[in-house]
Amino acid sequence: MNFYYKKPDGEVVHVQRRFADGPPPETLELDGVTARRDYSAKAAASVPSTSGWPLTCVASGVNAEDAQKLRDHFKAVGVPTEVTRDGDPIYTDAAHRRRALKARGFVDRASFA
């Protein structure tokens, strides 16, 4: 699991711990200073950035020979989506990505929606 701690100088440090290790401590000794757990940093890190769009998604792509079939499917269901020659859809923003995945029957459990 991912946890964030803030040092007295304001630096935020990302710490990974196993779930089996129990709950994370509220304070942690890092580089000789005591850092306090920063819940706001975790919230900021878990919201996807608005930059990085458009996004070419290899994970939801198809084989190159099926690229045209995917284009036709998106057009038929009313979610116009560009598809690369290699069969990878290009999503213009997070909402477009959700609609396109839903149109194909996919569920992204980490989509923050």
Complete DSSP assignment for 27-94: EEEETTEEEEE-HHHHHHHHSPPS-S-SEE-STT---GGGHHHHHHHHHHHT---EE-TTS-EEESSH
pLDDT tens for residues 22-74? 888 899 898 899 999 988 875 555 555 556 789 999 999 999 999 999 999 99
Contacts of residue 71, defined as CB under 8 A and 6 or more positions apart, other chains included, come to 81, 83
Task: Identify the pLDDT of residue 69.
Answer: 97
In the chain, the percentage of residues whose pLDDT exceeds 70 is 88
pLDDT mean across residues, the chain: 86
0.85 exceeded by pTM: no
